[in-house]
Chain A
């Protein structure tokens, strides 16, 4: 009891210091976007999850102010980048004189549902991410140079494509040809790394919902990626976020677009099977 009083006091002191600029996270809030699209921020855990009964979107762990930014597209800063992507969509690039729009004549809407199933197995049996699909099309169809994995143009384009699946349930395949990649991702998820010797699961499975200093630990779900982070005021990709997490625990990050991060992305996406695609989300 004394402990809880103390925590409340400490937290109140923190609030006072920050001049009331933050409010406590509202874990019971409902996410409705533009007053019309209701997002399932909790869902029954998929069968493969052994240690969690309910999966939860990272949105519920954020402050009321951060939560509000995602509830209206006019307030959501990620839409600046969605607009950038719309310009890129129509921009001719490469030796073939084409833009995305040259082939995809029905617009980005053609990709409704795609993000909800990514990453997936390609025709050659390899695991492919949405980022790789975009770059493959740029190289093979447009004769253009591939974009860097996590830079603004790519993060914006994958946000635009992801937006077309917003409101749909995450549903990535983990069986068949995807199984070995999924197993690899699961293995990495539970492997401790870095000088701090910590695995993804230590924080995001064993301790979600509690504070680690000023940060409220979430389940590490990726159903809102790419996400706009207030911390760096830009779109953040999953692989970019993994990199940041690894540096925090003083580990050498795996390579963006490399087999480890792709496998982790598949495994994490599958931990969110049943949640709703929120792309582009807003986080702290």
Chain B
């Protein structure tokens, strides 16, 4: 079990290290909730981001948000606001900030911070000290959200 966890952590670390110029979660600079610069140092891929958005083990954004760009998937959640037209309402920097850590914008929100690795308590071993999404996945989701226009 320990070996499996160690391998998983090593894989995640390896992926992070491999991304030149990635910003560590604790070093992300928020300004009024927004993050101006790509946290991975590279551009996001909207097509990959679409998958991360829907994947229950990754973003699972659909668990809480209606998204009419995904009519092929059933059971859109209702906990958060619908994301139709998100790119009309938020700038790229604001969307990046909302994905990375929405509590910087909405203090008491239920929405998890997807790019934080501290500040939460009693995490399961497999998730301790790592963010829900890695830097590139954050950028991929942001790139995808920027396609949601009405």
Contacts and interface: CB of A to CB of B under 8 A. Distances in A.
Interface in A216-264: 217, 246-247, 250-252
Given A195-B132, A198-B112, A7 B120 contact: no
A196 B75 contact: no
A253 to B, nearest CB: 9
Interface string B94-123: 000000000000000010110000011111
Interface string A184-215: 00000001111111100011001100111110
Contacts of A19: none
Given A13-B71, A193-B121, A250 B127 contact: yes
B75 A3 contact: no
Interface residues of A, number: 33
B83 to A, nearest CB: 11
B26 interface: no
A250 B68 CA distance: 28
Given A193-B120, A194-B123, A197-B120, A203 B74 contact: no
A6 B79 CA distance: 16
Contacts of B127: 194-195, 250
Given A193-B120, A196-B112, A250-B127, A212 B79 contact: yes
Interface in B34-78: 56, 60, 62-64, 66, 68, 71, 73-78
A211 B127 CA distance: 25
B121 A192 contact: yes
B20 interface: no
Given A3-B84, A17-B74, A211-B78, A195 B112 contact: yes
Interface string A162-189: 0000000000000000000000000000
Nearest to A18: B74
Interface residues of B, number: 31
Q: Is the interface of A mostly helix, strand, loop or mixed?
A: mixed
A224 B79 CA distance: 25
Contacts of B128: 195
Contacts of A74: none
B109 to A, nearest CB: 9
Contact of B63 (A191, A202, A213): A213
Given A250-B124, A252-B123, A207 B79 contact: yes
Contacts of A251: 121-124
Interface of B: 56, 60, 62-64, 66, 68, 71, 73-79, 82, 84, 110, 112-113, 119-128, 132
19 contacts: A7-B76, A13-B71, A14-B74, A193-B120, A194-B120, A195-B132, A196-B120, A197-B113, A198-B110, A202-B110, A206-B110, A211-B75, A211-B76, A211-B78, A212-B63, A213-B76, A217-B79, A250-B124, A252-B123
Interface of A: 2-3, 6-7, 9-11, 13-14, 17, 191-198, 202-203, 206-207, 210-214, 217, 246-247, 250-252
